[in-house]
Amino acid sequence: MEKRIKKVILPAAGLGTRFLPATKASPKEMLPIVDKPLIQYAVEEAINAGMEEFIIITGKNKRTIEDHFDAAYRLEEKLKSSGKDKLLEEIQKLNDVHFAYIRQKTALGLGHAIGCASPFVNNEPFAVILSDDVIDPEYPLLEEMAKIFYEKDAPVIALQEVPKNEVNRYGIIKGFKEGDIYRIEDLVEKPSIQKAPSNLAIIGRYILTPDIFQILQNLTPGAGGEIQLTDALKKLLKKRPIYGYLIKGERYDAGDKLGFIKATIDLALKNNELSEGLKEYIIKKARSIK
Ligand code: UTP
């Protein structure tokens, strides 16, 4: 098996029902936080972690994703002739990145979406990024996870502690600490609050090994009637160890309206052009809120 992680899968074929009607005819992954769509944050995070090959899983109404990562000659010419060099640089910076697009014909679940990439991954480890889990862009999470993968030669999944009354919205693990990381003993998708084995939730960053594909191919639908990646990982656990890495930076569930608004505020506060004006506005607003 090739050891180096070069490929990243970006599933973007979900229906985005929590964001309707915005996601009726356009993809959730194209919703912008400040000035960049969610999926561009994910692609830039992967580039910063040294990934070289990008596989985007798309579905119905997702064509704008392909257009977004395509060159835009007319626009580029216009920006060049009007001397808007900074904007030009910004829109050209991903022009050399090559993307493969795979269509998931029916949104049968995250596990199924990842399984669709199987013919393109061969016998290599790969990363998965869920664009709607927005992680602070300055935090090299995938690199940290890759280090663990290289050391342990085992899949690594990102974890975050969540409030106990929210465990039913996540995949939850049972595990014990081995130094700084968790050795996973069990995983369960969207457990009831009473039955959850912990409050350690699986977050949308994974480093996986290709043996997951065979499991995904034979998986039956789980929670919510979907083919769940968590169920495949549970089966994989019978064959090999899996590790969990507790993330340190901020993470926002941008697939959820409140999480999306929080991400927008926090990233805008980090933006040089916006921070002053926004701070002023927030302080004024906070004073007026009863
Ligand atoms: P979510 O669980 O957020 O589902 O998917 P969703 O359909 O996008 O949104 P809601 O829950 O209906 O609001 C997590 C990730 O997995 C992808 C999504 O695009 C998102 O990046 N996904 C999910 C697929 O690619 N295919 C699927 O069948 C399901």
Which residue is it, tokens 């990102």?
158
Residue 290 has pLDDT above 80, yes or no: no
Residue 139 amino acid letter: Y
Q: How confident is the model at residue 280 (pLDDT cuts 50, 70, 90)?
A: very high
Residue 72 has pLDDT above 90, yes or no: no
Confidence at residue 70, expressed as pLDDT on a 0 to 100 scale: 86
Confidence at residue 260, expressed as pLDDT on a 0 to 100 scale: 97
* Cα 178 to ligand 1 centroid, rounded to whole Å: 31
Q: Is the CB of 208 under 6 A from ligand 1?
A: no
Hey, what are 278's tokens?
């926004």
The minimum-distance atom of ligand 1 relative to the CA of 108 is 28
Q: How confident is the model at residue 13 (pLDDT cuts 50, 70, 90)?
A: very high
The minimum-distance atom of ligand 1 relative to the CA of 107 is 28
Q: How confident is the model at residue 79 (pLDDT cuts 50, 70, 90)?
A: very high
Dihedral sign, Cα of residue 77, residue 83, residue 43, residue 271: negative
Confidence at residue 183, expressed as pLDDT on a 0 to 100 scale: 98
* Cα 137 to ligand 1 centroid, rounded to whole Å: 21
Confidence at residue 93, expressed as pLDDT on a 0 to 100 scale: 83
The minimum-distance atom of ligand 1 relative to the CA of 57 is 25
Confidence at residue 1, expressed as pLDDT on a 0 to 100 scale: 60
The pLDDT tens digits of the residues spanning 163-216 come to 999 999 999 999 999 999 999 999 999 999 999 999 999 999 999 999 999 999
The pLDDT tens digits of the residues spanning 254-267 come to 999 999 999 999 99
CA distance 44 to 37: 11
Instruction: Return the minimum-mean-pLDDT range out of 160-164, 233-237, 248-252.
Output: 248-252
- Say which CATH architecture domain 7-288 belongs to: Alpha-Beta Complex (3.90)
Q: Whose CA is nearest to atom 1 of ligand 1?
A: 14
Question: In 49-198, which ranges are continuous DSSP H helix?
Answer: 63-68, 73-81, 85-92, 110-115, 118-121, 141-152
Question: Which phi-psi region, left, alpha or beta, contains residue 251 (left: φ > 0; alpha: ψ -120 to 50)?
Answer: beta
Q: Is the CB of 109 under 6 A from ligand 1?
A: yes
Q: Is the CB of 14 under 6 A from ligand 1?
A: yes
Q: How confident is the model at residue 220 (pLDDT cuts 50, 70, 90)?
A: very high
Nearest to 216 by CA among 226, 237, 231, 203: 231
Residue 2 has pLDDT above 70, yes or no: no
Confidence at residue 176, expressed as pLDDT on a 0 to 100 scale: 96
Q: Is the CB of 125 under 6 A from ligand 1?
A: no
Nearest to 154 by CA among 135, 170, 178, 133: 178
Provide mean pLDDT across the span 51-68. Answer: 90
What separation in angstroms does the CA of 86 have from each of 14, 176, 239, 266?
Answer: 33, 48, 51, 23
CA distance 166 to 191: 10
Residue 238 has pLDDT above 90, yes or no: yes
Residue 99 has pLDDT above 90, yes or no: yes
Q: How confident is the model at residue 71 (pLDDT cuts 50, 70, 90)?
A: confident
Query: Does residue 183 or residue 94 have the better pLDDT?
Result: 183
Q: Could you give the percent of the chain with pLDDT greater than 90?
A: 85
* Cα 96 to ligand 1 centroid, rounded to whole Å: 27
Confidence at residue 202, expressed as pLDDT on a 0 to 100 scale: 97
Q: Is the pTM of this model over 0.85?
A: yes
